[in-house]
Structure 1
Amino acid sequence: MTSPIADYAMLSDTRTAALVSREGSIDWLCLPRYDSASVFGALLGDRRHGCWSLRPTDESAIPTRRYEDDTFVLVTRWESASGVADVWEFMPHGGDTMPTGGAGVALVRRIIGVSGTMEFTQHLTLRFDYARAVPWVRQVGTDEAPELLAIAGPDAVIVRGPRLAPTDHAHAGTLSVSAGEHEDLTLSWFRSYEDAPPAIDVDRALAVTTEWWQGWAARIEHDGPHHDAVVRSLLVLRALSHHDTGGIVAAATTSLPEEFGGTRNWDYRYVWLRDAALTLEALISHGFLGVADRWRAWLIRAIAGDPAELQIMYGLGGERDLFERELDSLPGYDGAGPVRIGNGAAHQFQGDVIGEVMVALDEARKAGLPESEASWPMQRALLAYVEANMDRLDNGIWEIRAEPRMFTHSRVMIWAALDRGIRAVREEGLDGPAEHWERLRDRMRDEIDERGVDPDGGFFVQFYGTREVDASLLILPQVGYCAPDDPRMLATVAEMERTLMPDGLLLRYRTESGVDGLEGDEHPFLACSFWLVQQYAASGRGEDAARLMDRLCSLANDVGLLAEEYDVGGRRHAGNTPQALSHLALVGAADALVGHYGRAAASALKHPSSVTSPIDTTGTRVS
């Protein structure tokens, strides 16, 4: 039976992630990177497509779970009539706990007896390469230290722990723990043409991993409502930031459906320049400047060469070949096919992307990150790309697969790109043709004000020539294009409330308008509703902001994770999970509740008098 998307917790070593269901089954794991092929793919099929189930043999045992403080060490307590046991699960975070000098990838499951005696059953099905390769598996350990070695093509894993017996191209076994006892189960990935790594020192790996996550979280600068949700969201953003390359993936999964049973299933395990830039802003605003430096270096490597060849997304290492294709080896989440790997949107023109990058790098500069030898020339090259393409129709922030348009949000982000370039010259003393950029920026504003506003309703429109609105328009005041209480913005919000909020959460746009060229429908996109919280807070609607924020935070699962969308009628998460955009928008909304609004959050934290007055937890504006 398919587990609800919200039933999954994430384990991460900041290189890849495992998704563990509430019932103790690891149903998704790609090795060794987020964008590698899966070893466990049951999330997009069933047990036959790869999983590692570990749960009490007693079917009546009840699980409760939590993360160990501010970490991605998951602790699941199982209680039954015969006993109580805890399962601690984590992915070791490098250092000298890993035999390969910090670059290895491993998974640890430790069972600790709390009271009585509890028997656990294991089911292990290894399926490499998105379930297209059944590995060669053999026992290589001893009776005292059983080991299971699985090899398929370039990949291999070694599983250590209580002995598993073969059964129908899988393995199974049982084990028992009593109070005060523990059993360790580990899985380590390695290249099949290399020697298997030695056994993990679980005690040390747990201590080092816990210390690393807690040390990172201790640096978070946040004081305000929804503190725990903000901390967990920032931890998610760090988990999705690759430790070695600096690339930031949009989500840990591919092809989880935006519409259950539908075909709106996309691969999010790549680095969108937009999403990564937004993630950077959230991290910078809360004290993490180093990650901005590493991502900027990643960006310089990824877009090296002719700016005309710019892509809107790349692989974790900056790879350009993200050819989108459909897999027939995985049937899809609860039958929602096709399952896709790669993403054809990589070669779209999305006019907003450079604006997001320039805004993020502007924030990093304001926060104290000095320009490197290559970083400002890179930004000037990006602005040259903007100028060369500023009159081009685009596919927009939502990656429309129908006819390109002049999307108002994209036009505003072109304005923002030029604006940040001008600021760099005028305020920071960098070199560049500021007067020329000012003429282009002013031309863009004149165009938007004339063509991007409905002449009758006085609201901003989704694209030139329509009367539809779009949730992305909430970004306009965030980047300084207009004030949050600009009459056009207030009218835009009113039109959104009238047409895009049938269930009290905000849709991206009306799919029935046909603008996206796709079949089917979708559910409210959580990031959009968090943007609306920011808009409410900044325009004097404090009670509405606080009320919507409370509702949105209540939609997180039991360990604080959010997917891409939320099915209000079905009361379930939808889309890929955990979603960086949802979590970074939560952080921005929480900041807005205490007066840190828009893309100047880093500056606002240092100069609180420059922002609007904060809102207390009841939604009342305070001085």
Structure 2
Amino acid sequence: MPDFPQESTRTDSAPKERAPTEIPLRASLELGVIGNGSVAALIDREARIVWCCLPRFDADASFCSLLSPTRGGGDWVIELEDLERTEQFYLVNTAVLVTRLFDHHGGAIEITDFAPRYRSYGRLYHPEMLVRRVAPLSGSPRIRVRMRPLCDYGARVAQTTSGCNHIRYLLSDVVQRLTSDVATPLIERGLAFGLDRPAHFVFGPDETLNDNVADFVHLALERTLDYWREWVRYLSVPYEWQAAVIRAAITLKLCQYEATGAIVAALTTSIPESGGTVRNWDYRYCWLRDAAFTVRALNRLGATRTMEEYIRFAFNLVASKELTELGPVFGITFESELPERQVDTLQGYRGMGPVRVGNDAWRQRQNDVYGSVVLASAQLFFDCRLEHRGDEVTFRRLERMGTMALRMAEQTDAGLWEYRGRVAVHTYSAAMCWAACDRLAHIATELGLDDRARYWHEEAVQLHARIEARAWNEELGHFVDAYDGEHLDASLLLLADIGFVEASDPRFIATVDAIGAALGRGDYLFRYLAPDDFGAPETSFNICTFWYIEALAATGRKERARAMFEHMLKQRNALGLLSEDIAPASGEHWGNYPQTYSMVGLIQAAMRLSRRWEDAL
């Protein structure tokens, strides 16, 4: 078999007496992700697929063992008898994951997992399909294949029918077919067998696989590797920390739903923000803000197609002429209502419920969304590399965001932290509405629309003055989180990034210092500390730590920023991924996973801190 280059060879040498299902505390989110823009799956260190929603990111979780189904199952296991230790890594610059399992007797197998994504017949081939290849490496390994998808979020076992070389699974929203060169009774009954040659598994749409399954897997793997390596090749990566940035960029790409351009905040639901809390939310939807952060990060790397697809998604949302206000979060196929409910058939991550499906944030007003869409779209009008640049028609569509921003800028909202029990005129929301007006003025100037440029410039200047007057607290000596307020939150670190103030402005420097003193815990930063609807936060918020790192660098404290950044790189799991939150005392990962916010923060901090290629070579 080909000796593909690997990205990491970090090893988990488990004590022999430890049960394979027991996971050390720090390693609880040691999960890899594979995907292709249609489907994504999370895979643990023993190559168990523990989370996958079919036929799309926000559908029923057919593989849901990550959230402890009450009836058991909900996974796809390739089990090696007498397992002793494992190794896991990505093939360099790809979304192809390799797991090696070693037994006590010198036997070993290698499992290669991927979701096909490549160009075929002039279009992108990215079906709702997971592909697995299991190959013997040494000795006489014996394996067992356990295929146990569930339906209705763990409520019932999937019905099956089988043929000579396939098994059909009747799932909640789709029928999937497993095609393999392993005899179907061995899979259906979970029987152990000796692995003396590679075995192949294709779990995809209920269609006959016309090719020999081994040939299909081999060709699909080669083409998928080629796709990802070509995609990475055109990224404008920084000189330093290239592998970390590339892994973050690939992960962000896996969180975009190709059919509509929507970008989910994370691939999971209900991984709590800290242990024993009810801060369990469903992140499998498209927050316009989170998606805009993702777009801006990938734009900085030159991956502009994500921006074009996201803008297509956003413009579809505002197509109605009657629209006067935009919600903060949508389903990945434009659903505007996402009713939240609890699922009793899943006990939760490590038994920590409740498990929620849907997210009532759709009912909230979060006024920063208008600026988020405009800022994510602005490069469309200035980047000469784009085949379809923004024009006057596109600008007129975007102006609707500005009109709504002006109307909503100084109205109360839930803010970007989505408070469920209080509202205020949040400084960040108002500043993002200003940013919408400011960028529209620049875009209009670029298009030669002088009257519109003057209009948006004047509106931006006036709004800016009003925000400054109400968001600066002279007595405290720093900006505050809301009009006439007294508190701090980490979003104030972005005021320089969006151009509301200069990084050299003494008011911004004072605000950065105040945030570090109030919200910092060692090398971590909390988003806020004031108790909210569910009490005081217990974990740091990864993107806030990265925002603080960027703010330190922007205000001339690069050595401290670099030290904090290097520390955050060490907090990633063995595969280079991050969840939403970290417990400062233990370094344990919490929150939904993989978190786009966190990977965005890593990319942007690396881009700011890295030495320039010109200076390094």
Could you tell me which of 17, 35, 40 is aligned with 2:58?
35
Could you tell me which of 96, 100, 116 is aligned with 1:92?
116
Say if 2:581 and 2:590, in contact at 8 Å, map to a contact too: yes
Normalising to structure 2: TM-score of the pair?
0.89
Taking structure 1 as reference, are residues 148 and 285 closer, same or farther at Cα in structure 2, changes over 3 Å only? same
1:50-94 superposed Cα distances (whole Å, 9 cap, x missing partner): 11111311132x111110111111111223332222111111125
Gaps of 5+ in 2: 1-20
Taking structure 1 as reference, are residues 372 and 57 closer, same or farther at Cα in structure 2, changes over 3 Å only? farther
Taking structure 1 as reference, are residues 197 and 431 closer, same or farther at Cα in structure 2, changes over 3 Å only? farther
Taking structure 1 as reference, are residues 238 and 399 closer, same or farther at Cα in structure 2, changes over 3 Å only? same
Could you tell me which of 450, 460, 474 is aligned with 1:441?
460
Distance across 2 between alignment mates of 1:97 and 1:129: 36
Q: Which residue of 1 aligns with 2:369?
A: 353
Say if 2:240 and 2:611, in contact at 8 Å, map to a contact too: no
Distance across 1 between alignment mates of 2:570 and 2:323: 43
Q: Which residue of 1 aligns with 2:43?
A: 20
Could you tell me which of 111, 131, 149 is aligned with 1:126?
149
Q: Which residue of 2 aligns with 1:176?
A: 194
Q: Which residue of 1 aligns with 2:420?
A: 401
Distance across 2 between alignment mates of 1:454 and 1:595: 36
Taking structure 1 as reference, are residues 452 and 385 closer, same or farther at Cα in structure 2, changes over 3 Å only? same
Q: Which residue of 2 aligns with 1:602?
A: none
1:365-416 superposed Cα distances (whole Å, 9 cap, x missing partner): 2223411564212111111111222231011111111211011111111111
Distance across 2 between alignment mates of 1:335 and 1:379: 45
Distance across 1 between alignment mates of 2:610 and 2:478: 27
Say if 1:26 and 1:51, in contact at 8 Å, map to a contact too: yes
In the alignment, structure 1 residue 417 sits paired with structure 2 residue 441: no
Equivalent residue letter for 1:156 = V
Identity of aligned residues (%): 30
In the alignment, structure 1 residue 150 sits paired with structure 2 residue 150: no
Say if 1:188 and 1:197, in contact at 8 Å, map to a contact too: no
Shift of residue 216, structure 1, vs aligned partner: 0.7
Distance across 2 between alignment mates of 1:203 and 1:97: 18
Distance across 2 between alignment mates of 1:431 and 1:111: 63
Shift of residue 487, structure 1, vs aligned partner: 1.2
Shift of residue 268, structure 1, vs aligned partner: 1.0
Taking structure 1 as reference, are residues 57 and 298 closer, same or farther at Cα in structure 2, changes over 3 Å only? same
3-state SS of paired residue (2:578): coil
Shift of residue 544, structure 1, vs aligned partner: 0.5
In the alignment, structure 1 residue 563 sits paired with structure 2 residue 576: no
Q: Which residue of 1 aligns with 2:541?
A: 525
Shift of residue 114, structure 1, vs aligned partner: 1.8
1:464-513 superposed Cα distances (whole Å, 9 cap, x missing partner): 23322111111100011111122111111221122111242000001xx2
Q: Which residue of 2 aligns with 1:59?
A: 83
In the alignment, structure 1 residue 590 sits paired with structure 2 residue 611: no
Taking structure 1 as reference, are residues 34 and 427 closer, same or farther at Cα in structure 2, changes over 3 Å only? same
Say if 2:343 and 2:357, in contact at 8 Å, map to a contact too: yes
Shift of residue 198, structure 1, vs aligned partner: 4.8
3-state SS of paired residue (1:478): coil
Shift of residue 453, structure 1, vs aligned partner: 1.6
1:432-460 superposed Cα distances (whole Å, 9 cap, x missing partner): 63334333322322222222122223111
Taking structure 1 as reference, are residues 430 and 314 closer, same or farther at Cα in structure 2, changes over 3 Å only? farther
What pairs up with 1:117-516 in 2 under 5 angstroms?
117-141=140-164, 145=165, 147-152=166-171, 154-161=173-180, 162-163=182-183, 171-178=189-196, 181-190=197-206, 198=210, 200=213, 201-305=216-320, 306-368=322-384, 369=386, 370-372=389-391, 374-430=393-449, 433-510=452-529, 513-514=530-531, 516=532
Q: Which residue of 2 aligns with 1:611?
A: none
Equivalent residue letter for 1:344 = D
Say if 1:13 and 1:92, in contact at 8 Å, map to a contact too: yes
Could you tell me which of 132, 137, 141 is aligned with 1:109?
132
Distance across 1 between alignment mates of 2:509 and 2:467: 17
Taking structure 1 as reference, are residues 533 and 183 closer, same or farther at Cα in structure 2, changes over 3 Å only? same
Shift of residue 196, structure 1, vs aligned partner: 5.1
Equivalent residue letter for 1:73 = V
Could you tell me which of 10, 14, 22 is aligned with 2:33?
10
Q: Which residue of 1 aligns with 2:10?
A: none
Say if 1:224 and 1:590, in contact at 8 Å, map to a contact too: no
Say if 2:327 and 2:366, in contact at 8 Å, map to a contact too: no
What RMSD, in angstroms, separates the aligned Cα atoms of the two structures?
A: 2.5
**Number of equivalences:** 584
Equivalent residue letter for 1:389 = M
1:543-596 superposed Cα distances (whole Å, 9 cap, x missing partner): 111101101111111111111111222322110111111111111101111479
Distance across 2 between alignment mates of 1:101 and 1:548: 40
Say if 2:512 and 2:552, in contact at 8 Å, map to a contact too: no
Distance across 1 between alignment mates of 2:375 and 2:339: 29
3-state SS of paired residue (2:324): helix
3-state SS of paired residue (1:33): coil
Distance across 2 between alignment mates of 1:493 and 1:520: 22
Q: Which of 471-480 and 46-55 deviates more?
A: 46-55
Distance across 1 between alignment mates of 2:451 and 2:157: 57
Q: Which residue of 2 aligns with 1:601?
A: none
Taking structure 1 as reference, are residues 67 and 188 closer, same or farther at Cα in structure 2, changes over 3 Å only? same
3-state SS of paired residue (1:105): coil
Shift of residue 539, structure 1, vs aligned partner: 1.1
Taking structure 1 as reference, are residues 456 and 101 closer, same or farther at Cα in structure 2, changes over 3 Å only? closer
Equivalent residue letter for 1:525 = F
Gaps of 5+ in 1: 597-604, 609-613, 618-623
Distance across 1 between alignment mates of 2:110 and 2:562: 37
